[in-house]
Structure 1
Amino acid sequence: MFDGLIAWFQIVFVDQFDWWVVWGLAAQFMFMMRFVVQWVASERAKRSIVPIPFWFFSIGGGLMLLTYAIEQQDPVFILGQSLGLLIYLRNVWLIFAERRAAARPEGDAAT
């Protein structure tokens, strides 16, 4: 049993190691950083918040993971990252629309 586990680790972590694995690991790190950013911001504020960098890490990590999923031809991963990217982009759009509206002079209606 132990030999089988060692063989599995050899196949997964050594034999398959290539540029795409490095890309996938970097993508996963980028995606993970959004949670670190959110956690640090919430700890500083002493309440749960979602800072804007969270969404940029989401977009960057999501794009990187999507390219990895496409290269790996994984339909579950491709669909999941595609939907996530739409949500992240929409959130950034809403944030900047709110900022534009707040920056308009009082009484200046949007057309």
Structure 2
Amino acid sequence: MDNFDIEALVWIGIGFAGQALFMMRFVIQWWSSEKAKRVVIPVAFWYFSLAGSLVLVVYAIHRKDPVFIFGQALPLVIYLRNLHLHYKSKGRSAAS
């Protein structure tokens, strides 16, 4: 196996890892909702969203795919903002 094949396999692995991280957010959300018997979005959902998108952006940049880059990079701002709001509200509830 030459270097190109190994490099291609590594990048495919990175792409699949990003997809797996992104998919895990739904598994976590589903599992949490089933346990609570109501719709729940745990903070882990946002961490998996962030991690999955970051890895997929790196993969998309490597592939030089502007549609994929845009589709994964823009939501990063939303995931970061949701985590910020989560921790900001935790600080408020602890203070009250």
Identity of aligned residues (%): 48
Work out whether 1:54 is the aligned partner of 2:54.
no
Work out whether 1:37 is the aligned partner of 2:28.
yes
- Offset of residue 103 of structure 1: 1.4
Highest Rg: 1 or 2?
Answer: 1
Structure richer in helix, relative to its length: 2
Cα RMSD (Å): 1.5
Considering Cα pairs closer than 8 Å and 6+ residues apart, tell me whether 1 or 2 has the greater RCO: 2
Unaligned stretches of 5+ residues in structure 1 = 1-13, 107-111
Unaligned stretches of 5+ residues in structure 2 = none
Q: How many residues align?
A: 91
Give the whole-Å Cα distance in 2 for the aligned partners of 1:17 and 1:48: 40
User: SS of 2:46's equivalent?
Assistant: helix
Alignment of 1:8-87 (within 5 A): 17-87=8-78
Give the whole-Å Cα distance in 2 for the aligned partners of 1:66 and 1:44: 32
Q: TM-score, normalised by structure 2?
A: 0.89
